[in-house]
Chains A and B, each alone.
Chain A
Amino acid sequence: MKLKNSSLTLDDMDLKILDALQQDAKQTYTAIGEQFGLAHSTVYDRIKRMEQHGIIKKYMAVIDAEKAGSKNITAIMTVYTDPKESEKVAENLCDAPEVLEVYTSLSEELLIMAKVVAENQESLHNFIANSVAPLPGVLRIRTSIVTKKFKETQFLIVNDPKKLTFIKEKHNKLGEIEQ
């Protein structure tokens, strides 16, 4: 399988390396190389190339907010917009530190979905009332506060159908994907 990203074409080995990094970005080039029979210098070159082309955007820690003592609440906000203004609304939402993720969707109406965090319900409401509702083009907003999180993972590139089956089986068996 080959994937093209502007000037860079990814081959199967690149995808495998990306997959390995998404499982554990702290593992060494040598450790990755050992998994796929590559020299660590080859792994290094491929990773650097993918970094330079923006395919690997950054490396970050995935934190369990609850264990870190955070009492924040999470909400999923759906913003119905005037189609002419939706880009601007989405861009404005991206600038807000309270907003973690922003997506647009076209179902019956053009809408924006965003994942929002706030200290409590009051601050969530204040943020939406003072910073989202006044944005030009916002027609109405529906917000659902998350009460229980069942799953949260980072995106995985699955380039091997067998692996996909394996992950699904493992997920069904254990209730969550083992890291």
Chain B
Amino acid sequence: MKEETNLRIFGAVPREKAFYFFTSIGNYTGESATSLKEFVEKIKDVNVKSLQFHLYRGDFEKWTLEVLRDEELALEMRKLQRFNLAVDILRSQLYETVSKHLKHLENRMEPI
């Protein structure tokens, strides 16, 4: 379990399974994330339109569940999706949620 947690935070998923940030259908920003740690960093910087686009399509939930296999985070994403957050607070809410979850995972992490 702990080994799996380590992988989830630091391990990079293959390129074809990375999360690619789009602002709308077919419009790729050039930003991608191959791990949860990188994902949190990208949330800080990526165009907010992209966060809005993916959150309400359920893409974050799908990626965290299917690629990172993180059911807890997927559930958090689903909750955020329901709130229909205003654009100005979307980024901060998303960042807070994912970074809090990341810290929680790091605390459970086995020392390398």
Contact = CB atoms under 8 A, between A and B. Distances in A.
Interface of A: 75, 77, 80, 121, 124-125, 128-130, 132-134, 136, 138-143, 145
Interface centre among B15, B25, B29, B32 (most CB of A within 10 A): B25
A130 B28 CA distance: 11
B55 to A, nearest CB: 15
B22 A125 contact: yes
23 contacts: A77-B26, A80-B30, A124-B25, A124-B26, A125-B22, A128-B28, A129-B22, A132-B28, A134-B16, A134-B18, A138-B28, A138-B30, A139-B30, A140-B28, A140-B29, A140-B30, A141-B26, A141-B27, A141-B28, A142-B27, A143-B25, A143-B27, A145-B25
Contacts of A138: 28, 30
Interface string B17-41: 0101010011111101000000000
Contacts of A129: 20, 22, 28
A134 B32 CA distance: 9
- Give the 4 A-B residue pairs with the shortest CB-CB distance, closest first: A143-B26, A140-B30, A141-B28, A133-B20
User: Chain B interface secondary structure, helix, strand, loop or mixed?
Assistant: strand
Nearest to B22: A129
Interface of B: 15-16, 18, 20, 22, 25-30, 32
A113 to B, nearest CB: 13
Nearest to B29: A140
A142 B26 CA distance: 6
Interface centre among B16, B20, B26, B29 (most CB of A within 10 A): B26
Contacts of B25: 121, 124-125, 143, 145
Contacts of A130: 16
Contacts of A143: 25-27
Contact of B26 (A75, A80, A134, A139): A75
B65 to A, nearest CB: 16
A116 to B, nearest CB: 8
Interface centre among A75, A77, A121, A125 (most CB of B within 10 A): A125
Nearest to B24: A143
Contacts of B30: 80, 138-140
A136 B15 CA distance: 9
A134 B20 CA distance: 8
B39 to A, nearest CB: 15
A77 B24 CA distance: 13
A141 B15 CA distance: 17
Contacts of B26: 75, 77, 124-125, 128, 141-143, 145
A143 to B, nearest CB: 3
Given A133-B32, A142-B27, 16 more contacts: A80-B30, A124-B25, A128-B22, A129-B22, A130-B16, A132-B28, A133-B22, A133-B28, A134-B16, A134-B20, A136-B15, A138-B28, A140-B29, A142-B26, A143-B27, A145-B26
